[in-house]
Amino acid sequence: MKPVDAITQTFVRHKPAFMPYFTLGYPDYETSLAVVEACAAAGAHLMELGVPFSDPLADGPTIQQSMQVALQGGMTLEKCITAVATLRARQITIPFMLMGYINPILAYGTARFVQDAAQAGANGLIVPDLPPEEAGELETLCQQHGLALTYLLSPNSSNSRIKLVTRKTTGFTYLVSVTGITGARTALPPELGDFVQRVRAQTEGPLAVGFGISTREQVQAVGELADGVIVGSALIRAVGDATDKPGEAYRFVRELVG
């Protein structure tokens, strides 16, 4: 089975699929691995593993700060790949999406990165600052290694853009709930339902919504609209404030998965 197929099967089995995001290396390497393990044990269906970068354009202050801490602690793209392999060795089997920006991938070597990520046990990649028009090399490499390459759509995406992205994305389509950066918000945007419907009209593939989701009620509401729910900033903030960080991650995910 190709790594991307595990993602597809997860969306078939779980409605909605719950996908936490956590920054690798935050607040330190071993703690971040323990947090990912705790999320999986608590019922996360997939995980988005954040690759720290100094200029994360799509991310709000909570994730930016977690990345800065991770970078100051010596986290690198190579260590992120090692983290995936280590988690697999610890029998964590849920699909992993590595989410990172294009500059570290280019510095590492695109072909080497995709090969190493696949060998480590990653299932797919999310590169928020790489538009599909410029992703030909990465798409080809991901296809060769059976990895998903997932693209993002925002509420202001045109119908032609939606058509392009849903045709090229693999694994699922990532719907950004707001026009802006990541970060927990008090309410879901009222136009989210219309946005999901516009994308649904163009594809039968899974749709996952992220950015701004932080409560059980919001997870349930998004789950009625889409196939997957992504929560990042709220988890990072909860873990960052806790003494028992893996324990808090477990509690947080259990509460949101229900």
Contacts of 76 (CB under 8 A, 6+ apart): none
Active site residue 59: yes
Whether the Cβ atoms of residue 168 and residue 204 lie closer than 8 Å to each other: no
State the catalytic residue, choosing from 28, 37, 48, 134.
Answer: 48
Active site residue 194: no
Tell me the sheet residues that pair with 153.
Answer: 175
Residue 126 to residue 149: CA distance in whole angstroms: 6
State the catalytic residue, choosing from 59, 116, 227, 248.
Answer: 59
Hey, which residues are catalytic here?
48, 59
